[in-house]
Amino acid sequence: MAGERQARVADRIRVVLAERLEKGLRDPRLGFVTITDVKVTGDLQHASVFYTVMGDEALRADTAAALKSATGLLRTEVGKHLNTRLTPSLEFFLDAIPENADHIAALLQEARQRDEAVAALAAAGNYAGDADPYVKPRELEDDDLEDDDLEDDDLEDDDLEDDEDDGIDESVDTK
CATH code of the domain containing 34? 3.30.300.20
Q: Which of 14-23, 114-123, 148-157 shows the lowest mean pLDDT across its residues?
A: 148-157
pLDDT in tens, 42-67: 998 999 999 988 888 888 888 889 88
Give me the percent of the chain exceeding a pLDDT of 70: 77
The range of the structural domain enclosing residue 89 comes to 2-97
- Sorted by sequence, the CB contacts under 8 Å of residue 93 that are 6+ apart come out as 48, 49, 50, 51
Residue 123 lies in a domain: no
End-to-end CA distance of the chain: 80
- Residue 95 is predicted with a pLDDT of 85
pLDDT in tens, 138-168: 777 766 555 555 555 555 555 555 555 555 5
- Residue 34 is predicted with a pLDDT of 85
Residue 119 lies in a domain: no
CA dihedral 135, 137, 139, 140 (to 10 degrees): 140
37 vs 84: CA distance, rounded Å: 20
15 vs 145: CA distance, rounded Å: 90
Residue 77 lies in a domain: yes
Provide the whole-model pTM: 0.58
- Work out how many domains the chain is built from and give that number: 1
**pLDDT over 60 (residue 87):** yes
Residue 41 lies in a domain: yes
Residue 172 lies in a domain: no
65 vs 22: CA distance, rounded Å: 18
